[in-house]
Structure 1
Amino acid sequence: MVDDEVVEAVRDRAAGGNPPAPATPAAITEAEQTIGFPLPPLLRRLYLEVANGGFGPAEGILDVSGGAPQGDWNDLAEIYQEGPDPSDRIPAGLVPVYDWGTPWSLVDFRDLVGPMWCTHEGDCWPQGITLAEWLVETMAGRLTVESVLSTQPTTH
């Protein structure tokens, strides 16, 4: 899917729920300044055109400032600063966007395509898919916590 199709699919799915209003450009700028990297263009569009978080699988991805907080986190810039993994093994620019309950899915802000990564129990590894693919697969129910964990490299 191209970005326009992903935005439309996410918008259609979000319309069935009660998503927060779209983010403001100022909230996007604030998040980028805090994180130190620009948002990948698709993620920026989703925040500005669809909703300030809450879209995607289950309760949705984290918001930028001004959206609805999820759990103990107010927004993705806050969790990026705090870090979901105290091991400090997550490289700079990998931003947590979705909490599966045990692992976290992260977007690589260092790459405009937004490759997805995962962190779990001190390990951090690439998932081999982009943000666009991740959104499509999670919303279709084909990408689950079990399949995310199955991509974790074995350590010996």
Structure 2
Amino acid sequence: MTDDEIIEACRKLARKRQAPPPAPPEAVAEAERVIGFAFPTLLRRLYTEVSNGGFGPADGVLSVDVGQWHEHIAEAYEYGPDPTGGVPAGVVPLYDWGCTMWSMIDFRDPDGAMWSSADGDCRPQGVTLAQWLLAAMDGELRFAWPNGEPPENEWHRPETAGDASSGRASAGN
């Protein structure tokens, strides 16, 4: 699926959820200033062409600025999901699974490599933002435990509503 097709699928989902309108470019620029890295290309397009948060799995990803959809991405980055300091600079919280579990995106990578963080353990997931979103739309996204083992076989899976066809690679362990 191309970036344009992913954007269109996310746009349909955002409309269905009544997500906020797209973020102004100035809000993205301010978030980049706070974070210290440029947004990965697809993520920038999603925020400025689709919605200021609310796209993606379950209730959606964080917004770009205050007063929109949940907490915002720059604030989550500044205060960090990991008080131990184990999250590398430029790896930014994107989706809150609850219970100190996060899907994060690497701003140092233009394709937006996805990471997971839980209880101070942070590791790459081995998928890009595009693959992660496709898994969410297909209902196949689950939390990728950094150590590979969920406690007591618990797989956190968000409720999703998909527009994409099935058969995509899972973005979890």
After TM superposition, the score normalised by the length of structure 1 is 0.90
The answer to whether 1:79 aligns with 2:88 is: no
1:117-132 paired onto structure 2 within 5 Å? 117-132=115-130
Which string of whole-angstrom CA distances, capped at 9 and with x for unpartnered residues, describes residues 107-149 of structure 1? Answer: 000010000000001100110100000011012210123xx22
Amino acid across the alignment from 2:113: P
Aligned Cα RMSD in Å? 1.3
1:23–1:66 contact (8 Å) kept in structure 2: no
Whole-angstrom CA distance in 1 between matches of 2:47 and 2:129: 13
Do residues 95 (structure 1) and 89 (structure 2) align?
no
Report the counterpart of residue 63 of structure 1 in structure 2.
Answer: 63
The separation in 1 between residues aligned to 2:11 and 2:32, in whole angstroms, is: 23
Alpha carbons 1:52, 1:67 under 8 Å: kept: no
Matches of 1:43 and 1:32 in 2, distance apart?
12
Match of 2:169 in 1: none
Partner of 2:165: none
Secondary structure of the equivalent of 2:17?
A: coil
Offset at 1:69? Answer: 4.0
In structure 1, runs of 5+ residues without a counterpart are none
Cα distance change on mapping 1:76 and 1:87 into 2, 3 Å: same
Instruction: Provide the rounded CA distance (Å) in 2 between the counterparts of 1:59 and 1:143.
Output: 13
Residue 152 of structure 1 aligns with which residue? 147
For the structure 1 residues 67 and 41, does the alpha-carbon distance in structure 2 shift closer, same or farther, using more than 3 Å as the test?
farther
Q: Point out 4+ residue stretches in structure 1 off by more than 3 angstroms.
A: none
Tell me how many residue pairs correspond in the alignment: 148
How high is the TM-score relative to the length of structure 2? Answer: 0.82
Q: Which residue number in structure 2 is paired with residue 47 of structure 1?
A: 47
- Aligned-partner SS, 2:77: helix
